[in-house]
Chains A and B, each alone.
Chain A
Amino acid sequence: MASTHVDSTSHHDPEVYHQFETLEQQNDSYIVGMWTFLVTEIMFFGGMFFIYIIYRWSNQDMFYRLHTELSWPLGALNTVILLLSSFTMACAVHHATLKNRKPQQIFMGLTALLASGFLVVKLAFEWYPKWQHGHMPWYWDWPGHVSSPDLLQVPGGTAKMFYSLYFAMTGLHGIHVLIGIICIVILMYLTKIKSILVDSFLPTEMFGLYWHFVDLVWIFLFPLFYLMPK
């Protein structure tokens, strides 16, 4: 009986971790775990969306004026970039299930590239000018440099709240994009060295789920900040 734990795991093939019986059970568990994690992410962002809704409700007019400071073409560009990256990620998952390593690598690379492009647009062309204009909450100078005289009537407090929400929500989303880039680079490296960890399609699939979620958050952020109705 000293070999108790050896007995209980001896039938395992090396791809299956010791706590699971079968590969199927393991795969199912990972998928359920990933979806559960995404539920927590929905609640995480949901809290912020709730705060946004409350404040926009009571400041619709001011928020409308403030949103003209954001560049909707850049937002639209980023939306296209992220949607494209979701498509390339879906292709990568498809090829991962077929074990076509070469196209899988190419599509993952494209995804990482597009994600980086998103961050470049966000930081260099959107955040940086706002920093120059003194519109970052931790570098605050209202009205500073605003594009239309309409905005001069917006009270500084409301403006700061709008920009706080803008930076908190897009910033948190940006951090998720950054984490995504890091994960996909690690995945690409593991695939390149033919690690047993990524022999199954599952890690790619799970990352795909995460990536589509990050994309989806932006799909909500874009209209909420850039496309406000009057």
Chain B
Amino acid sequence: MSATSVGIPDVPKPKEEKNYLNNGNTIASWLLTTDHKRIAILYLISVSFFFLVGGTAAGLVRLELTSPRGIFFENETYNKIFSLHGIIMVFFFLIPAIPAVIGNFLVPLMCGARDLAFPRMNLLSWYVFISGGFLAVLAMLLGGVDTGWTFYTPYSSLYSNTQVTLAVFGGFLAGFSSIFTGINFIVTIHKMRAPGLTWFRLPLFLWAQYATSVIIILGTPVIAITLLLLFAERVLKLGVFSPELGGDPVLFQHMFWFYSHPAVYIMILPAMGVTNEIISCFSRRRVFGYSFVAFSSLAIAGLGFLVWGHHMFVSGQSMYQGLVFSIITFLVAVPSAIKIFNWVATMYKGSIRLQTPMWYGMGFIGLFLVGGLTGLFLSSMASDVHLHDTYFVVAHFHYVMVGGTIMGYMGGLHMWWPKMTGRMYPEFLGQLSAMLVFVGFNMTFIPQFIVGYLGMPRRYHYYYLAPEFQVYNIMSTLGTTVLGIGYILPVFYLLWSLKYGRKAGPNPWHAWGLEWTTASPPPTFNFATVPIVTSEAYDYDAVSDEQHDFLREEEDAAKAAEGKE
């Protein structure tokens, strides 16, 4: 009996014989699987690949900006590199990362179901995603795209002679993949909850996934039709957004941001869901104000659809329109703040264990706070005129998208890695990489706030008319290096842990939740018998002091064991 399985007596002992990982070893058993857990692993591998591609492009951009006159690239090449970074990161990493990897793995487990409602559609969504990704990467290889990730018309429809058509179609396909995932989650959460698992006993991660799915269902079709029309303008010579026909390019921006602003919440809400689980588990307390956090997810999803115009304060929309969008944007801060306050209140007087997921969770709170508050600078029209299209905006959305989403993603990956693989990652390296990411991230983007405020525009290649910006850019690039190490490190130690990691046991964190009541890795059909839920969510009070002491002992034992190795 391994040291870890003694903890909670009513948990069945882990069985070596059959789990989803060793249930079939052929390539076909992976590529034709309908098991949500295997599809999550497929997604994990794919998004990691896209993260690597997008990250490399980011590195090139940062390297280029260390000199006011540029180092490597022509202007056109630079445009293509940052477009590649944006398109790959947004459509093929940030949007699918948490829903399609962690969500796919956890939604059925947390519901107490054997699989998602539509397993074959789930597999289809991966194939559609991969085809879209293939087209996007192909577009980059065939010469790249220079429109930026936003594909603004008329540049993208009439003037750009780069591979816009392919990339747009890739984005269109990626959209359908997330629609499939969204439908699956909504049906699963509605119809497949275990007996006793009422809506208000759901883990908040599921509330967040539900809100995300609602946004996906309502928003993604709109970007799909917009990209399709852009595609048709290039291929079939249709003229919907062309100003020469009396069409309105700003209409494209409206259509684009109607999806792409809520898409920010597609990225951030699941990360908030992950953070709920982490904060609660590692503070050993139930989430403060459960229903407030749950409904704030839905409120963010709802309000998120009414704020897209704040991307167009300087695009010539009516002032009154801008005013309304500005006010509603301020309103989004309310549910976001509710979440932040509730997390802090959860931690207050909790018995906090500072392990890797918790570092990421707390990092999320800090970085998202900065990202959210700087968003308020941008949502007030007057200051937006000054800050629009500068590095201030770049820093702001990286704080939300990288500091928020990727912190949540990494935290979730570490928290559920033992569940996914049955092995523990090395704790010290995990904490080290979490610190590196946090420090590196701030080193990268704090200088960008400053240089943006001073007036450096985004997407510019040269800034030799303002050489005083160089120092900030070099600071930022240095930070990128630290950040890069922080992201590369987990790749190595997580792969290492697959073979050499300590056996995790069913519930290494002594966490609340149905996913921890089954073996790690879970068997193909998740649960031996359908679980029946009798307690409220995050019932950490029920974890006795005795078990609590045990946790300390176990940690000490683990440290001792690691020291010997």
Residues of A close to B523: CB separation below 8 A: 4-5
Contact with A along B1-35 (1 / 0, CB 8 A): 00000000000100101100000000000000000
Q: Which 9 A-B pairs have the closest CB atoms?
A: A157-B245, A19-B115, A44-B221, A5-B525, A43-B221, A47-B225, A164-B238, A47-B222, A2-B17
**B518, closest chain A residue (CB):** A4
Cα(A8)–Cα(B228), bound, Å: 44
- The reply to whether A37 and B246 form a contact with Cβ atoms under 8 Å apart is no
What's the minimum C-beta distance from A55 to chain B, rounded to whole angstroms? 7
Cα(A168)–Cα(B231), bound, Å: 11
Cα(A55)–Cα(B250), bound, Å: 12
- The reply to whether B191 and A25 form a contact with Cβ atoms under 8 Å apart is yes
Given contacts A19-B119, A158-B246, contact A32 B191 (CB under 8 A): yes
Residue in contact with B245 in the complex, picked from A32, A33, A39, A161, CB distance below 8 Å = A161
Given contacts A155-B246, A165-B240, contact A7 B225 (CB under 8 A): no
Residues of A close to B187: CB separation below 8 A: 29, 32-33, 36
A167 in the interface (beta carbon within 8 A) = yes
Cα(A9)–Cα(B245), bound, Å: 61
Q: Which residue of B184, B237, B239, B525 has the most chain A CB atoms within 10 A of its CB atom?
A: B239
Cα(A155)–Cα(B239), bound, Å: 14
- The reply to whether B528 and A8 form a contact with Cβ atoms under 8 Å apart is yes
B517 in the interface (beta carbon within 8 A) = no
Q: Which residue of B184, B191, B192, B229 has the most chain A CB atoms within 10 A of its CB atom?
A: B191
**B229, closest chain A residue (CB):** A168
- The reply to whether A8 and B530 form a contact with Cβ atoms under 8 Å apart is yes
Residue in contact with B222 in the complex, picked from A28, A44, A167, CB distance below 8 Å = A44
CB pairs A–B below 8 angstroms (17 shown): A5-B18, A5-B524, A7-B528, A8-B529, A9-B525, A25-B192, A28-B191, A33-B186, A39-B218, A40-B183, A40-B217, A41-B221, A43-B221, A157-B242, A161-B242, A168-B238, A168-B240
Residue in contact with A7 in the complex, picked from B182, B221, B229, B529, CB distance below 8 Å = B529
Residue in contact with A161 in the complex, picked from B113, B116, B239, B529, CB distance below 8 Å = B239
- The reply to whether A40 and B115 form a contact with Cβ atoms under 8 Å apart is no
Residues of A close to B191: CB separation below 8 A: 25, 28-29, 32
Residues of A close to B184: CB separation below 8 A: 33
A200 in the interface (beta carbon within 8 A) = no
**B186, closest chain A residue (CB):** A36
Contact with B along A1-40 (1 / 0, CB 8 A): 1101101110000000111110001001100110011011
- The reply to whether B186 and A51 form a contact with Cβ atoms under 8 Å apart is no
Cα(A150)–Cα(B217), bound, Å: 44
- The reply to whether A160 and B239 form a contact with Cβ atoms under 8 Å apart is yes
User: Could you tell me the dominant secondary structure of chain A's interface residues?
Assistant: helix
A140 in the interface (beta carbon within 8 A) = yes
Contact with A along B201-221 (1 / 0, CB 8 A): 000000000000000011111
Residues of B close to A51: CB separation below 8 A: 229, 240, 251, 255
What's the minimum C-beta distance from B76 to chain A, rounded to whole angstroms? 28
B373 in the interface (beta carbon within 8 A) = no
B462 in the interface (beta carbon within 8 A) = no
Residues of B close to A172: CB separation below 8 A: 228
Contact with A along B108-136 (1 / 0, CB 8 A): 10000111111100000000000000000
B244 in the interface (beta carbon within 8 A) = yes
- The reply to whether A40 and B255 form a contact with Cβ atoms under 8 Å apart is no
Chain B, range 332-365, C-beta contacts under 8 Å to A: none
B556 in the interface (beta carbon within 8 A) = no
- The reply to whether B117 and A4 form a contact with Cβ atoms under 8 Å apart is no
Chain B, range 210-266, C-beta contacts under 8 Å to A: 217-222, 224-226, 228-229, 232, 236-240, 242, 244-248, 251, 255, 258
Residues of B close to A47: CB separation below 8 A: 221-222, 225-226, 255, 258
- The reply to whether A157 and B117 form a contact with Cβ atoms under 8 Å apart is no
B140 in the interface (beta carbon within 8 A) = no
B527 in the interface (beta carbon within 8 A) = yes
B179 in the interface (beta carbon within 8 A) = yes
**A164, closest chain B residue (CB):** B238
What's the minimum C-beta distance from B308 to chain A, rounded to whole angstroms? 13
B552 in the interface (beta carbon within 8 A) = no
Given contacts A137-B239, A160-B239, contact A44 B225 (CB under 8 A): yes
B190 in the interface (beta carbon within 8 A) = yes
What's the minimum C-beta distance from B168 to chain A, rounded to whole angstroms? 15
**B17, closest chain A residue (CB):** A2
Residue in contact with A137 in the complex, picked from B115, B117, B237, CB distance below 8 Å = B237
